[in-house]
Chain A
Amino acid sequence: MPKGDMAGDMAGDMAGDMGGDLAPKIDLQGVGKRFVTREREVEALQPIDLAIQDHEFVALVGPSGCGKSTILNMIAGLLPPSAGVVSYDGAAIGGLNRAVGYMTQKDTLLPWRTAADNVRIALELKCRAMPWDEANERVAQMLTLVGLTGFEKHYPAELSGGMRKRVALARTLIYEPETLLMDEPFGALDAQLKLLMLDQLQDLTRQRRMTVVFVTHDLGEAITLADRVVVFSARPGRIRAIRPVALPRPRDVFRIRFTEDFAHLHESLWDELKDEVTRGTEV
């Protein structure tokens, strides 16, 4: 655990929360998944153990098809594990897990709603009903945060891939779920925009003290944001390595890439990952 190494104003109480042996927020015990389709059976994930603490930011990296999205789907309760138990707050997940906000790999924007209306949708629900003006104000804030002012009235079909991703991000962040599941949220963004988004995401998730499970292909992104990076092997997925990121917070997302600690961690993670990536492409 990186708790000892955390700096910044948040570190004190975070260490307090994570100290002792508190039950993890998300707990995967012997969780495996095989998909049975008509012709064949695919073992997507070999049984793994992974515990994610409250307020922790965990990044999952691994070759394509190793079961990262499958793990998020199981934490969200969209998919039952075929072995083991996924628990949330100490209770096994059965059915939808509404405590999480899930930004899926493929965006699920409603095509008949404008960007602003898509972002607002969570605030229109009875479970968090609020006055129209207040909701609209928060929508405007959120769209500014993801750099989409001026595109409020555009429909998803009129937005670029990266813009749609940002609308989906805003839609998930706006209702501040206690746990955030994100599946390659910044894949379609250019390098500069990606850094801006990482910066906003760090601020927001640390401010609201969210628990985050973040899937990415970009090791730099993982190191910049995460408390721990989990490296998966090629399919069938297994945990190959777990590395704590001992970089102090808050992190300067624009400069941290040039520090020595970052470079070391990047190299050691890449060592773990590169065999798997090549193995993954051979299959």
Chain B
Amino acid sequence: MAAALSTPLGRTLARVALALIILAAWQYLPSANVRFWMSGPIEIVARLLVWLRDGSLWENVGATLFAMALGYAIGTATGIAIGLLLGLMPRLNRVLSPYIAALYAMPKIALAPLFVIVFGIGLESKVALVAITVFFLVLNATLDGVHNVDRDLTRALALMGATRLEVIRKVLIPATLPWIFTGMRIAVRYAFTNTLLAELIASNSGIGFMIEYYSGVFDATGTYAAILVLVIMSVGLTELLTLIETRLAHRGANR
């Protein structure tokens, strides 16, 4: 038995067996009144098929991904732009830095109710929450990057006759890029979590909204089905990030 578990095939078989046991137990053990809040695998899969057929699955997955992507894009673009700008204006940066530090430290989720008041329930309030979270992460990473640029490099280029813009293009930005990428990578996970949180708090579409909605009407099957979709999305996102990271790491190692 133990020997069988040490081969890849044995491990896979063990995993499948474990899943089957758990699913069977879930399906057949609960009594009728426990069933009300535990639902069952067959019901959940059936619900997923219904959602697939009526299109509500793709609609809500799409809504979540769209809000996340839009917020991420806005947050990243503004974070990089303002980060570079403040990096180039050290005096202004010194004036603003306590405020930036305070806002950076604050859990942005606390702003979610405010965004609902300002933007209403819908895409805008979700995007706002994601954008502001991503913005501060990327802003800080960019500022760190700019501050860590070797001044000897920028001075060397200036001495060759480079204009300020050329120094920025040829030294500052390339030297800051790895920092920006690190910030952007970390921000992906925050963007995903905060999209969901925004949807759970107040929204009218998305996976978070489905979870919130079905649990609100005491529909356990719908709630579990939506959570299952969420698990699949998170795993997909993690796999995608790992793939990109190993690609980048590989390229970095080859340099």
Main secondary structure of the interface of A (DSSP, over half): loop
Q: Does A104 contact B (CB under 8 A)?
A: yes
B159 partner, pick from A98, A112, A155, beta carbons under 8 A = A98
Contact status B170-A121, CB under 8 Å: yes
Chain A contact residue count (CB 8 A cutoff): 23
Q: Knowing A106-B152, A110-B174, A155-B255, say if A96 contacts B158 (CB, 8 Å).
A: yes
B contact patch SS? helix
A104 touches B156 (CB 8 A): yes
Chain A residues near B163 (CB-CB < 8 A): 125-127
CA distance A273 to B155 in the complex (A): 33
Cβ of B156 to closest chain A Cβ, rounded Å: 4
Known: A121-B170, A155-B255. A100 touches B153 (CB 8 A): no
Q: With the chains together, A100 CA to B161 CA distance in Å?
A: 10
A125 touches B152 (CB 8 A): no
Instruction: Please measure, in the bound complex, the distance between the C-alpha atom of A102 and the C-alpha atom of B159, giving whole angstroms.
Output: 8
**Contact for A110 among B159, B171, B255, CB less than 8 A:** B171
> Is A262 part of the contact surface with B, judged by Cβ < 8 Å?
no
Chain A, residue nearest B157 (CB): A121
A124 sits at the interface (CB 8 A): yes
User: What 1/0 flags go to A96-131 for Cβ under 8 Å of B?
Assistant: 111011101010101010000000011011111000
- Nearest Cβ in chain B — how far from A204, in angstroms? 17
Task: Report B156-210 residues with CB < 8 Å from chain A CB.
Answer: 156-163, 166, 170-171, 174-175
CA–CA, A98 and B166, complex, Å = 15
A274→B153 CA distance, assembly (Å): 35
Chain B residues, CB < 8 A from A157:
255
Alpha-carbon distance A106/B166, docked complex (angstroms): 22
B-contact bits for A161-196, CB 8 A (1 contact / 0 none): 000000000000001000000000000000000000
With A124-B170, A125-B166, A155-B255 given, is the CB distance from A108 to B156 under 8 Å? yes
Which residues of chain B come closer than 8 Å to A124, judged between CB atoms? 170
CB of A108 within 8 A of CB of B153, answer yes
* Residues of chain A within 8 A of B255, CB atoms compared: 112, 155, 157
29 contacting pairs across A/B (C-beta < 8 A): A78-B159, A96-B155, A96-B158, A96-B159, A97-B159, A98-B158, A98-B159, A100-B159, A101-B160, A102-B159, A108-B150, A108-B155, A108-B156, A110-B153, A110-B171, A110-B174, A110-B175, A112-B175, A112-B255, A122-B160, A124-B170, A125-B160, A125-B161, A126-B166, A127-B161, A127-B162, A127-B163, A155-B255, A157-B255
Question: Which residues from chain B sit less than 8 Å from chain A, CB to CB?
Answer: 150, 152-153, 155-163, 166, 170-171, 174-175, 255
* A residues apposed to B, CB below 8 Å: 76, 78, 96-98, 100-102, 104, 106, 108, 110, 112, 121-122, 124-128, 155, 157, 175
Q: Knowing that A121-B157, A124-B170, A127-B162 are A-B contacts, what are 15 other residue pairs whose CB atoms are under 8 Å apart, sorted by A's residue number?
A: A78-B155, A98-B159, A100-B159, A101-B160, A104-B156, A108-B153, A108-B156, A110-B171, A112-B255, A121-B170, A122-B161, A125-B161, A125-B162, A125-B163, A127-B161
